[in-house]
Structure 1
Amino acid sequence: MRRVLKDLADITATFAQRAAEHRINPSLDRVRQVLDALGDPQEMYPAIVVAGTNGKSSTTRLVDALARAHGIRSGAYTSPHLVSLTERISLDGEHISEQRFVSALNEVYPIVLMMEERIGEKLTGFELMTVLALSEFAAAPMHMAALEIGIGGTWDAVNVVDAQVTAITTIDMDHQKWLGDTIESIAGNKAGVIKPGAISVVQNQVAAALEVVELTANQMQAKLLLQDRDFFVSTTTAVGGQLLNIQTPRENYQDLFLSLHGAHQAVNAATAMVAVENLLDDDEPLDPAAIGHAFETFQMPGRLEVVHRSPTVVIDIAHNPNGAQTLAQGIADSMTFSHLTCVLGVLDDKDSAGIVDALAPIVDEWIITTAPSERAIPANELAAEVSGLLGAARIQVEPDISAAIELAQEMADQSGAGSGVLITGSATVAGAARARYRG
């Protein structure tokens, strides 16, 4: 008897019961066979695939926003989500509704189960979500898709898509258990998204990573468009965001207002612009008015996001040292705090010491909590590590994330004007905070 998935809670439980992508042998065969049984929906529209360590989601969503501003019906697929699974799939600028999510999964799920029985292997939760997104973009239908790689590149489910335009954001150390413990091995995995004869837009990289990316591109006879060689970006802080000057191979765009803070987001915006220019493939520059609309109205939850005023509360999903360094620089460049309290929760496979070192110059007091995840470092263990790095004087422990946020806000209130709260360390921590403040 066919099992019907009743609602979002039922679906969330179904995904949770499936193996995580790093707990199964790396292969694209499972996803390819399921998609083949579904009629290869991923072949029905062009796509831009975004890989990298940090900045993938922002770049993917910026690609989507730019495409829509130019009149293209676009789907976007990103991960992780902050509050609801439905955040991962967007159709023409709107998160998929719960009703449509349930209906769409019930359409493909019987075929997925049939193929799993035939193959003798189950899809991971991420693989199932990827199949759903690719199928729904074809059913909608979308005229293009912006797709974010989950982990790595070569063996990630999204890499079944034959994307003729890809983007590679900053590559750094992360997911070493699955991608290798050197920058070269990580870069090699992420460069696996580069397809034969394709175009890849690449942000500035450390020399070792860039060498691997260039070698892969040469092997694939692909064209690289490199930051500070083929495209350039400069930024000036402005009220509510920043003003960008972006020079691409096709045009010099001036005074573009982007409603995001941080120089890293300026680079992500430029990367997205170059990628969309090449997807359109008409040798014409983008429409400045369309770019302006896309950038002015753009929002990216959980990335240097202010979710409360008086006191100012900022949330960010920074979960590795590079992300934390970028976060710290973004706050230093665009915000002024007389006193900053940080609520920190980290997962057990992350470089927590590196995260703390990166944030320490901007943080005055710490509240250490337990991230809402089975993989969280317990608050007491994380606090002991932070104390060993910074001393115990400025550290408090509150394992409950809601209580930790409440305590941080009280401390900021008591510290007076100009005080703020930063909530970070993982997507689950940022998600819990966003649910509290934004619902």
Structure 2
Amino acid sequence: MSDEQSPEGRLRQVFAELVARTPEDRMQPRLDPVRECLALLGDPHLAYPVIHVAGTNGKSSTTRMIDRLLREHHLRVGRFTSPHLVSVTERISIDGEPVTPERFAEVHEDVAPYVAMVDGRLRAAGQPALTYFEVLAVMAFAAFADAPVDVAVVEVGLGGTWDATNVVQPQVAVITPISLDHTEVLGDSLEEIAAEKAGVVKPGALVVLARQPDAARDVVLERCRQLGVRVAREGVELGVAERTLAVGGQLLTLAGTAGHYEEVLLPLHGEHQARNAALAVAAVEAFLGGGQTALEADVVRAALGDVDSPGRLEVLRPSPTILVDAAHNPAGTAALVAAIEEEFAFSHLVGVVGVLADKDAGTMLELLEPVLDEIVVSRSLSPRAVPVEELAVLAEEIFGEDRVHTAEALDDALQLAVNLAEAGAADGLGAGVLVTGSVTVVGEARALLVRERRW
């Protein structure tokens, strides 16, 4: 079998075709082309109930927790998340596992003729062909119908109203914390961004709403009022009742809309993950019993005790401790810093930071400065990555020249950070490395660290 015919070779070919399309950060404000493509496929997105997850931060972790809770109830679950860390196959998962490279290529082949038909109509009308993310969404919906799944948990890619996933009619809509991000696409105020996120709220859906800034909360609640849908609010109908640190994570008491769940061990770090867990429990209560029936406490403990969230304050090595966190905006960075200050005791922590061009790098660096003893500025291979020299100038203004180092290649940056951390910590005790700043830099670092185990 030639390399091109192998599953990995076919996946590379499909991925090359996908990335040649309009990238996902250049969302097209439209839904009709996706609906048309899905109609040609027999409307697979309507073949199963959907839990739709929107928001700025915490979407992927919350989606994974909902997925795990549903599977503990013996349901077959399809999960669509974005972006991916290492392989595009991560975005489409069934039964808790990403589809195989072979299956991913097969699904693309199945939908390709219908995608081509819609592309042709769009080009004839002078419009852009289906985007990278639009095709991925079509593929996910088709894969879930073919499986078939009992329920799909679908994460919004960007915004809500015009996101390609917003063709679904969700039984439950979850909105995680909203903050300023993607302002060039979604608007430069919390009200505008919240209005986009609230587009996932549909008639007949039950809404689970995270605690929000007042401006964002009011917009979402007004949307819910207009549509006459029920809302379960964090801090009112649901939340984290108790939280204590534990080995490898945290011990929680969660208040759902229908039940109280004690002694829940969550093997993830940070108060924000505890809050995500409360949202996930409320979402599953809403899905299985309309928010009126409690879940079995043992089922909640088993599911959340087994959950993971790759690239989200994930410990990849114990000595020196190497953490990766995909915080890519100020709100995510603030949550990361709070978790580090609360749960880790580093004597010398070195950051490896790479940021994409459309992000608020200055604010992110300012938030990181108090917890980082030194910083290594690097970049991912993404064409959107801020050049190392440019980011280093900004870092020097915040950290001072003596604390800033540079490395163009990410593997060199990781090695330099490990050396600096060990040299700065007495006898190497308490040495740590934190990789953060973008999903792409974390994904590439994670691939290096997990695959090669070089550090």
Q: TM-score range by the shorter chain?
A: over 0.9
Q: Which residue of 2 aligns with 1:60?
A: 63
Q: Which moved more, 1:52-61 or 1:191-200?
A: 191-200
Aligned to 1:248: 256
Residue pair 2:257, 2:285 contacting (<8 A) in 1 also? no
Pick from 258, 263, 276: which aligns with 2:271?
A: 263
Q: Deviations over 1:9-68 (max 9, x none)?
A: 101111110002443541001100000100000111101010000000000111100000
Aligned pair count?
A: 436
For the residue of structure 2 that corresponds to 1:237, the secondary structure is strand
Task: State the one-letter code of the partner of 2:252.
Answer: L
Measure how far apart 1:327 and its partner are: 0.5
**1:437 maps to which residue?**
449
2:371 aligns with 362
- d(CA) in 2 for partners of 1:300 and 1:431? 13
1:95 Cα deviation after fit: 0.9
Aligned residue type for 2:212: Q
| Partner secondary structure for residue 207 of structure 2 | strand
Give the one of 205, 217, 236 matched to 2:224. 217
CA contact (8 A) 2:78 2:152 kept: yes
Taking the aligned partners of 2:368 and 2:25, their CA distance within structure 1 comes to 28
* Secondary structure of 2:53 counterpart: strand
TM-score by length of 1: 0.97
Q: Tell me which residue corresponds to 1:232.
A: 239
Alignment match of 1:388 (pick from 397, 403, 408):
397
Please give the residue correspondences for 1:47-86 in structure 2 after superposition, counting only pairs within 5 Å.
47-86=50-89
Maintained 8 Å contact 1:86/1:95: yes
Identity of aligned residues (%): 44
The 3-state SS of whatever aligns with 2:69 is helix
**Structure 2 CA distance, aligned partners of 1:281 and 1:250?**
9
Contact 1:165/1:198, CA 8 A, preserved across alignment: yes
Pairing 1:300-379 to 2, within 5 Å after superposition = 300-379=309-388
Per-residue CA deviations over 1:63-102 (Å, capped at 9, x if unaligned) read 1000000111001100010100011111011111111111
Q: CA deviation at 1:304?
A: 0.3
Match of 1:406 among 400, 415, 419: 415
Which range moves more in the overlay, 274-283 or 393-402?
Answer: 274-283
- Alpha-carbon contact 2:66-2:284 (below 8 Å) kept: yes
SS at match of 1:308: strand
For 1:94, the equivalent position in structure 2 comes to 97
Partner of 2:113: 110
Paired AA for residue 225 in structure 2: N
Query: Once superposed, what is the RMSD of the aligned Cα atoms?
Result: 1.3
Which secondary structure state, in structure 2, belongs to the residue aligned with residue 174 of structure 1? coil
C-alpha separation between the residues in 1 aligned to 2:88 and 2:225? 38
8 A contact 2:267–2:308 mirrored in 1: yes
Distance in 2 (CA, whole Å) between partners of 1:98 and 1:133 is 14
Question: In structure 2, how many angstroms separate the alpha carbons of the residues matched to 1:153 and 1:387?
Answer: 37
Q: Give CA-to-partner distance per residue, 1:131-172, whole Å, 9 cap, x none.
A: 000110010000001110011000000111010201000100
Q: Tell me the distance in 2 between the aligned counterparts of 1:243 and 1:196.
A: 36
Partner of 1:42: 45
- 2:284 maps to 276
* Contact 1:77–1:90 (Cα < 8 Å) also in 2: yes
The CA distance in 2 between the partners of 1:410 and 1:12, in whole Å, is 36
For the residues of structure 1 that align with 2:445 and 2:332, how far apart are their CA atoms?
A: 18
3-state SS of 1:171 partner: coil
In 1, the alpha carbon distance for the partners of 2:26 and 2:436 equals 26
> Which stretch has the larger CA shift, 168-177 or 381-390?
381-390
CA deviations 1:319-350 (Å, max 9, x no partner) are 00100000011111111111100000000000
The amino acid of 1:133's aligned partner reads A
What residue identity is the alignment partner of 1:238? A
State which drifts further: 128-137 or 291-300.
291-300
1:116-137 Cα distance to aligned partner (Å, 9 max, x none): 2134341100010000001100
1:195-217 superposed Cα distances (whole Å, 9 cap, x missing partner): 01321101110100101111111
* 2: CA distance, partners of 1:336 / 1:250: 37
Query: What's the counterpart of residue 8 of structure 1?
Result: 11
Question: Is 1:419 matched with 2:431?
Answer: yes
Using the alignment, how far apart are the partners of 1:116 and 1:260 within structure 2?
42
The answer as to whether partners of 2:172 and 2:207 remain within 8 angstroms in 1 is yes
Letter in 1 for 2:159: G
Where does residue 169 of structure 2 map in the other structure? 162
1:198-213 pair list within 5 angstroms: 198-213=205-220
Give the secondary-structure state (helix, strand or coil) at the position aligned to 1:19.
coil
Residue pair 1:70, 1:287 contacting (<8 A) in 2 also? no
Q: Distance in 2 between matches of 1:357 and 1:400?
A: 24
Segment drifting more, 351-360 vs 116-125: 116-125
3-state SS, counterpart of residue 355 of structure 1: helix
Amino acid in the other structure paired with 1:58: S
Aligned to 1:155, the other structure's residue is in SS state: coil
For residues 220 and 30 of structure 1, the distance between their equivalents in structure 2, rounded to whole angstroms, comes to 25
CA distance in 2, matches of 1:262, 1:391: 29
SS at the partner of 1:250? coil
Task: Report the equivalent of 1:146.
Answer: 153
**Structure 2 portions without partners, runs of 5+:** none
Q: Secondary structure at the match of 1:273?
A: helix
**Contact 2:349-2:432 at 8 Å conserved across structures:** yes
Supply the distance in 2 between the matched residues of 1:365 and 1:220 (Cα, whole angstroms): 51
Asked if the contact 2:261–2:300 (Cα under 8 Å) also holds between the matched residues in 1, the reply is no
Which of 18, 31, 34 is the aligned partner of 2:34?
31
Contact 2:118 2:130 in 1 (8 A): no
Cα distance in 2 for partners of 1:414, 1:272 equals 42
Q: Is the 8 A contact 2:29 2:162 kept in 1?
A: yes
